[in-house]
């Protein structure tokens, strides 16, 4: 089979890496890809948002399956475009993608269906939103309704921070149209977990859970990012809580979408918080998480391509997945200054020696191939150093050992990824 992976980040490298292991794969294309995907298949110089060119390429090359990595092309309707042309695509259409593209849409669906989530009010007027905010006080969560590259959510500890977040969305236009509608949401306490599930309509098949780190700094300090690290599995999500997430959140959500006439085929990602009252939804995404995918896929023993084809053909109910017992830890290596301004085009050293560490795979995120074939930085999140181990302690040690072997100017990474889980997994 010929497969096209759309996107250029660490998630897409991880997807390409896993798809490349399938005996069903004949040829792999990545558009636009990065320096890591270039080692697995052919990079194609087409941006993920250039839907017309992607369709033309897929038709011209006889692509059998297109896997859409990022959320923006899904929200824009890339899957609809491909399906209308008679091409097989893994990822929901525009209507299903509203679960991520509009937090207001997702929140209304959850509240209407009784799916556990935090209380929230939705506003289009700044004055009304500000009045409500002052009436409920802090801590509180302020969310831009639309896509904001993982940076449109502010967990405000005090009213001043919350008011600034509201102004950034509705007055300053920091997130453009994405911030014209804002949710003011109840602050929930507890550990978080991400649970991705394959969906082919009403049937679902959950993947192994993961936990990611959104804040830039150690101890969950500083501004939100697209994710600075992750690990899988999640000891805090015990068997009972896992079953509740599946039966009270994931399955009812898939049914709710089907009931509304929305044909969802792809991945539904539930960002969960484990409260004293039980698991509740923080957010939904409609694609593989980043960097959760980098910690989940190395543990998957089954054929990912076969699983994706089962989703596309509506045959998910007959599929079973096998998982490694080994835990996995991913450390994100970022450019200095991220999530603010940062430099690009810096040479990356030590990749080969880092991957010689047992259990380690380095997934490229923001990289490009230079004129001389060297690897250069090309984004805020540059690399995802991922390691399997016999236990969390070994996986974590391997990931950080490999990270220390890699260098580029102004490199930054958190030093506490998976630290909290060492004690949990041993107890």
Contact in structure between 316 and 205 (CB atoms under 8 Å): yes
Q: Which two tokens stand for residue 169?
A: 């969305």
- Cis peptide leading into 332, omega within 30 of 0? no
Question: 15-49: per-residue pLDDT in tens?
Answer: 999 999 999 999 999 999 999 999 999 999 999 99
**Chain position carrying tokens 């997934």:** 363
Instruction: Band the pLDDT of 427: cuts 50, 70, 90.
Output: very low
Does residue 426 register a pLDDT over 70? no
Beta-strand (E) ranges in 187-297?
Answer: 191-200, 204-206, 211-212, 215-217, 221-224, 229-232, 265-275, 278-285
Contact in structure between 138 and 158 (CB atoms under 8 Å): yes
Question: 296-355: per-residue pLDDT in tens?
Answer: 999 999 999 999 999 999 999 989 999 999 999 999 999 999 999 999 999 999 999 999
Contact in structure between 319 and 307 (CB atoms under 8 Å): yes
The pair phi, psi for residue 289, each rounded to 5°, is -70, 160
Domains and CATH numbers, the chain: 2-93 (3.40.50.20), 125-180 (3.30.1490.20), 191-318 (3.30.470.20), 328-426 (3.90.600.10)
pTM of the model: 0.94
Instruction: Band the pLDDT of 202: cuts 50, 70, 90.
Output: confident
H helices present in 114-264, as ranges: 126-136, 159-170, 239-244, 251-259
Question: 114-124: per-residue pLDDT in tens?
Answer: 999 999 999 99
Q: State the Cα–Cα distance between residues 65 and 89, nearest whole angstrom.
A: 6
């Amino acid at each position: 089979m010929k497969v096209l992976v759309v996107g250029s980040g660490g998630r897409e490298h991880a997807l390409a890496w896993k798809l490349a292991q399938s005996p069903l794969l004949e040829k792999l294309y990545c558009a636009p890809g990065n320096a890591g995907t270039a080692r697995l298949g052919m990079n194609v110089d087409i941006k993920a948002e250039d839907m017309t060119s992607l369709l033309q390429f897929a038709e011209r090359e006889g692509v059998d399956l297109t896997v859409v990595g990022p959320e923006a092309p899904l929200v824009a309707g890339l899957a609809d475009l491909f399906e209308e042309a008679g091409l097989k695509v893994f990822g929901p259409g525009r209507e299903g993608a509203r679960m991520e593209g509009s937090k207001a849409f997702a929140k209304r669906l959850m509240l209407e269906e009784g799916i556990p989530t935090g209380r929230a009010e939705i506003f289009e007027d700044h004055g009304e939103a500000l009045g409500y905010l002052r009436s409920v006080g802090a801590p509180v969560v302020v969310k831009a309704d639309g896509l904001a590259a993982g940076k449109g959510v502010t967990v405000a500890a005090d009213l001043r921070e919350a008011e600034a977040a509201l102004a950034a969305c509705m007055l300053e236009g920091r997130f453009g149209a994405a911030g014209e509608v804002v949710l003011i949401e109840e602050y929930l306490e507890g550990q978080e977990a991400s649970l991705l599930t394959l969906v082919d309509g009403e049937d679902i098949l959950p993947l192994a859970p993961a936990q990611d780190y959104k804040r830039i700094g150690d101890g969950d300090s500083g501004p939100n990012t697209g994710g600075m690290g992750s690990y899988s599995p999640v000891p805090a999500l015990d068997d009972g809580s896992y079953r509740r997430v599946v039966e009270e959140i994931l399955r009812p959500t898939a049914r709710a979408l089907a009931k509304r006439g929305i044909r969802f085929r792809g991945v539904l990602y539930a960002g969960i918080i484990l409260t004293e009252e039980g698991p509740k939804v923080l957010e939904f995404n409609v694609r593989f998480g980043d960097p959760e995918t980098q910690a989940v896929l190395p543990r998957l023993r089954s054929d990912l391509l076969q699983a994706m084809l089962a989703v596309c053909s509506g045959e998910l109910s007959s599929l079973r997945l096998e998982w490694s017992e080994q835990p996995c830890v991913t450390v994100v290596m970022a450019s200095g200054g991220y999530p603010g301004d940062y430099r690009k085009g810096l040479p990356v050293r030590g990749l080969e020696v880092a991957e010689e560490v047992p259990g380690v795979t380095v997934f490229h995120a923001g990289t490009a191939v230079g004129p001389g074939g060297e690897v250069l930085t090309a984004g805020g999140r540059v690399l995802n150093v991922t390691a399997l181990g016999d236990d969390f302690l070994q996986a974590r040690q391997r990931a950080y050992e490999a990270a220390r072997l890699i260098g580029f100017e102004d490199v930054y990474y958190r030093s506490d990824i998976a630290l909290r889980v060492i004690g949990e997994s041993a107890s």
